[in-house]
Amino acid sequence: MEKFWLEITHECKQSGARTGILHTPHGDVLTPMFMPVGTLATVKFLSPEEIEEIQSGVILSNTYHLWLRPGDEIVRDAGGLHTFMNVKNPILTDSGGFQVFSLSDSRKITEEGVTFKNHLNGDTMMLSPEKSIQIQNNLGADIIMSFDECPPFPATHEYMKASVERTLRWAQRGKDAHQRPHDQALFGIVQGGEYEDLREYSAKTLVDMDFPGYSIGGTSVGETKEVLYRMVDYSVKWLPKDKPRYLMGVGSTDAILEGVLRGIDMFDCVLPTRIARHGTLMSNQGRINIRNAKYERDFGPLDPECDCYTCKNYSRAYLRHLIRCDEGLGQRLLSIHNLRFLIKLTEDIRQAINEDRFLDFKNEYFKKHKLNSIDSRGF
RNA sequence: GGGGGGGUAGCGAAGUGGCUAAACGCGGUUGACUGUAAAUCAAUUCUCUCCGAGUUCGGCGGUUCGAAUCCGUCCCCCCCCA
């Protein structure tokens, strides 16, 4: 697809990490990048102007949720997600594969697809590779995902092997069903859990199918950081250098740094926005729970080192007050901060890579935030 | 002056002889959250403590093996009539 490609701009001589420009039908974005999640065609509480202000690149939305409400055909008839949402950013839609995982109580996986009861009214529904792609074609995102099974962790090798093979067949079916390859980049998703041979098999098979980008899935499902990094290592080594690599569902600071070191270009995570709504902030002073009594009379900024709108204009005491009163402005302001915090991290990461000092940068960041490479919450 | 209702933990409110340190809600405190069924969820919230112990249900005094619950009395609050 001529409208979509990754232009590698620099490879860090110190670490091997890379920066790039991802060209999309809705503009260029710099990698490595962090993508805010807006499942229901909205990054919860943020206006398009605020999304722009935090310097966000790609934003996410979700096949399953928009299929249920308002319906993908309505989004299509509205002119597609960009018009519907009034955003200029490139958009990526997830395939619904993760929802199959999280709705596992009421699902049945077959070769054809997944039968499940939806979470709104319990209706029995069927999502298949073809259906997922069809919905995503209607939604009109710049980047769309293959319909995969996101297997639980841990899973036996036997289970994982069958799951990977099925997901690969689903990837081919989705590719065959894709109606808009000229303006929507369909990514393949590497699975295989923590098993090196299955990750290799999954990655190699997908690469043979030739996708414009590759995701690493089956992550952020309860595995330790050590396992996560192995999953990434086992997957990335088989992926072509000139295609974007997307580590799905990962968004803590430590994992972003470790991921970039391993050659990841794209990250997404609900963590920053969700914990923000719940009163927890990522900051250069460490983790902050703004509801804590100790901030009652703290009239200083949330994070003096942060350049976001919230930190430039509001005090901890006021933000605490808003959150405790369940005021939407509080959830908005804290979401702005956490997203900007992570996006600023990716800006710093890109600069460090371009200056061939990413390894130093990562080590200093870990030292400053008392992180380690194995198990850390990362903020 | 007459008649009626009521005082339970920070607040509201159940309980009306033992299973009650006392439901539930709010408020308070703390924690969790990773391709969003999440403005959600969990723990904790009389006192001292490790199990455990000690004081509670307006005050005081009784009945009883045992009382927030029964009786007497006092204090306070609300409503209606004069």
Q: What is the pLDDT of residues A108-148, one digit of tens each?
A: 999 999 999 999 988 899 999 999 999 999 999 999 999 99
Query: Cα A225–A228–A233 angle (5° rounding)?
Result: 125
Kindly name the residue from A72, A94, A148, A303 that is annotated as catalytic.
Answer: A94
pLDDT exceeds 90 at position A107:
no
Q: What is the mean pLDDT of residues A203-214?
A: 98
Q: Would the pLDDT of A1 be above 70?
A: no
Stated as kind and residue range, the H or E segment containing A245 is strand A245-247
Residue A375 catalytic? no
- Would you tell me how many other CB atoms lie within 10 Å of the CB of residue A305? 11
Give the gyration radius of chain A's Cα atoms: 20
Amino acid identity for residue A156 in this structure = T
Residues A22-41 have a mean pLDDT of 98
Q: For residues A290 and A61, give the distance between their C-alpha atoms in angstroms, rounded to a whole number.
A: 28
* CB contact at 8 A, A358 and A14: yes
Tell me the per-residue pLDDT of A291-341, one tens digit each, with 9 for 90 and over: 999 999 999 999 999 999 999 999 999 999 999 999 999 999 999 999 999
For nucleotide B31, give the residue with the nearest CA to its C1': A289
Q: How far is the CA of A281 from the C1' of B62 (A)?
A: 61
Percent of chain A whose pLDDT exceeds 90: 91
Distance in Å from B71's C1' to A351's CA comes to 84
Residue ranges in chain A assigned as alpha helix (H): 48-53, 63-68, 72-77, 81-85, 97-102, 129-139, 157-177, 196-209, 225-236, 253-261, 271-277, 309-313, 316-324, 328-354, 358-368
The pTM (predicted TM-score) of the whole model is 0.95
Chain B nucleotides covered by protein, CB below 7 Å: 28-41
CA A79, C1' B80: Å apart? 68
Exactly one of A142, A254, A268, A303 is catalytic; which is it?
Answer: A268
Q: Is the pLDDT of residue A253 over 70?
A: yes
Residues 6+ apart with CB under 8 A from A27: A88, A89, A90
Compute the half-sphere exposure of residue A136: CA atoms within 13 Å on the CB side of its CA: 38
Nucleotide nearest to A63 (CA to C1'): B35
As a three-state string, the secondary structure of A83-123 is: HHHCCCCCEEEECCHHHHHHCHHHEEECCCCEEEECCCCCC
**How far does the CA of A124 sit from the C1' of B73, in Å?**
69
The DSSP line for A298-354 is: --SBS-TT--SHHHHH-BHHHHHHHHHTT-HHHHHHHHHHHHHHHHHHHHHHHHHHH
| Catalytic residue check, A356 | no
Instruction: Determine contact, residues A352/A262, Cβ cutoff 8 Å.
Output: no
Spatial CA neighbour of A192 closest among A225, A148, A226: A148
